[in-house]
A and B are shown apart, each in its own frame.
Chain A
Amino acid sequence: MVGATALSLEGLVAVDADVVRLRRGDLNALSELIARYQNRLYRYLLRIVPQPAEAEDLFQQTWLRAVEKIRSFDASRNFDAWLFTLARNLAIDHLRRIRPQSLDEPLANSWHSETVADRIPCKDHTPLDHALAAERRTEISEAMAGLPMMYREVLTLRFEDEMKIEEIAQVTEVPVSTAKSRLRRSLEQLRYALEARSPGGTWQ
């Protein structure tokens, strides 16, 4: 626990130092920030927009916007929240531009593709365990992709990015109470969708 706290503090200090260097126009600092955030940011965008190509374009736009706006970044704020807010605003503008109703629509794609890590066998689990786990993951990712954008977003921020409610509120620019009730509603919707997919199945 102490080790994890020290590591996260170390990470924060490194981010702060990179932000200061980026403000001075240091490209290496940007490279380090991208390396640190690329997976989280890309995943977040993929959960919001329907196509990977759109997520890729928004990924680039987010970093370009970050470069443009880094001087106006308030160092007392959380860089994660600031970066994700930039990405969110760009994604919402994009969705509104292509189709305003798409904010409430489910994603056409689903992103339950197996990773290399998923395919590595574990000696504690039988092939059947693996098959069941993969099936559950597929079910949950498909059910999640069927939710409106604001619910998908809050789920990915909480469970995949492990953001606290206060940070989610910052990113989504809503009060903490709204972020909390949105998280509750998104979980309820997800459970409803899972139960509808397999009545009497594993999720009940």
Chain B
Amino acid sequence: MSEHDKIRELLALAAADALTSAEEKQVAEHMRSCIACSNELGAWRPIASELRRLPTPQPSSWLVQATLARAEVKLTEQAEHDWNRRVMIVSVALAWLLTIANWLVFHFVSGRFGSLLEPKFSPTWISFAAFTALGWLAGGVAAVMLAIRHRGEKRLA
């Protein structure tokens, strides 16, 4: 492709002010010696100029108000959803903490605080361990359900 053809391809973009500074320089230099390209750029100018002056349609005030009203509902839903999620997370964390604290209290009250890691497989110990495991399991299930729900909501959005 000759230099002239390359410049000619840039003329539409020149009228659109979409050239890099290097390209602008190239075009300006070529224009000094090429009347055909100069005329061609002259033909592009009114098109670009009319495109810039097309009337701007405006949305009705009803549309803007309706959008704001729907967005307000959405923001309120989001705030409620965030609050519910925070409450659930705190509840799960609290449930886990309580079960851990139960063990400490149990061992402290029974005077066998040091035997935390030395399980005695008595019926009391087993039922207390089962209770703890159940608490942890319930907390775990709630956490997983929360994560699944969160992922589902993100996918839907």
Contacts and interface: CB of A to CB of B under 8 A. Distances in A.
B146 interface: no
B71 A67 contact: yes
Contacts of A196: none
B44 A140 contact: no
Interface residues of B, number: 34
B9 to A, nearest CB: 7
A183 B18 contact: yes
B12 A159 contact: no
Overall SS of chain B's interface: helix
A137 B64 contact: no
Contact of A30 (B18, B50, B53, B68): B68
B124 interface: no
Nearest to B62: A56
A194 to B, nearest CB: 7
Contacts of B15: 187
A95 B125 CA distance: 66
Interface stretch (A1-9, A112-120, A121-129): A112-120
Given A31-B68, A114-B55, A60 B157 contact: no
Interface string A22-59: 00010100110011001110110010000000001001
Interface in B1-32: 9, 12-13, 15-16, 18
A160 B51 contact: yes
A77 B46 CA distance: 34
Contacts of B67: 34, 59-60, 63-64
Nearest to A30: B71
B27 to A, nearest CB: 13
B66 A165 contact: no
A59 B12 contact: no
Interface of A: 25, 27, 30-31, 34-35, 38-40, 42-43, 46, 56, 59-60, 63-64, 67-69, 111-115, 117-118, 136-137, 140-141, 144, 155, 158-160, 164-165, 180, 183-184, 187-188, 190-191, 194, 202-204
